[in-house]
């Protein structure tokens, strides 16, 4: 009986030693930017309030990968206080939907000559009470104890039932560019 018990402990230890979990490193200069290129006025909403994790097994980024990342939409700053208030209250409705999040997995990780990976993540993006299946392409660059993650993708606001302002002096592009640049560090074992 003891032999089976010890065998199970060894198996559990081996499995956990080959798994890798990384979490957003909040001590780094993380950035999430929503960019509107409109005919009348371009603007950006920027925040560093991103949290989440990436998990995979062994040295293979694709093996058993799972990820979850969320952004605090109340922290988006466009540089103009009144525009921030209108964006949060009238369009993003952050009182009801304070966070956007992405849940998914890596489906592609091709190593490039620059010691980084061209990656694709597939999953569900949740914004404004609506969840949509999306694929995001980006890069992951290894660091001493983690990764730098960068991506740029388009999010159609109407897909998430967000009204597109069409006021005379405040027009935005229906297709919002989303740029992310954040850092992951190896999760500490507890």
Do 47 and 69 meet the contact criterion of CB atoms below 8 Å apart? no
79 φ/ψ sector (left φ>0, alpha ψ -120 to 50, else beta): left
Q: Specify the CATH superfamily of domain 2-186.
A: Lipid/polyisoprenoid-binding, YceI-like (2.40.128.110)
Give the pLDDT score at 40: 62
**pLDDT digit of tens for each residue in the chain (190 aa)?**
444 443 334 334 334 445 799 999 999 999 999 998 766 667 799 999 999 999 999 878 888 899 999 999 999 999 999 989 988 998 899 999 999 999 999 999 999 977 899 999 999 999 999 999 999 999 999 999 899 999 999 999 889 998 876 654 456 678 889 999 999 999 987 6
Residue 181's DSSP bridge partners are 31, 150
């Amino acid at each position: 009986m003891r032999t089976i018990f010890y065998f199970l402990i060894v198996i559990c230890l081996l499995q956990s030693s080959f798994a890798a979990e990384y979490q957003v490193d909040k001590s780094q200069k993380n950035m999430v930017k929503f960019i509107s290129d409109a005919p009348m006025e371009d603007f950006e909403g920027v925040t560093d309030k991103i949290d989440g994790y990436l998990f995979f097994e062994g040295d293979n980024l694709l093996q058993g990968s799972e990820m979850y990342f969320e952004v605090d939409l109340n922290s988006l700053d466009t540089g103009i206080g009144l525009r921030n208030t209108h964006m949060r209250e009238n369009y993003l409705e952050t009182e009801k939907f304070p966070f956007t999040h992405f849940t998914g997995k890596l489906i592609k990780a091709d190593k490039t000559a620059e010691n980084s990976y061209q990656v694709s993540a597939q999953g569900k993006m949740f914004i404004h009470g609506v969840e949509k299946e999306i694929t995001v392409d980006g890069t992951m660059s290894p660091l001493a104890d983690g990764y730098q993650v960068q991506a740029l993708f388009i999010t159609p606001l109407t897909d998430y039932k967000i009204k597109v302002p069409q006021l005379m002096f405040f027009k935005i592009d229906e297709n919002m560019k989303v740029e992310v640049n954040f850092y992951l560090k190896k999760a500490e074992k507890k």
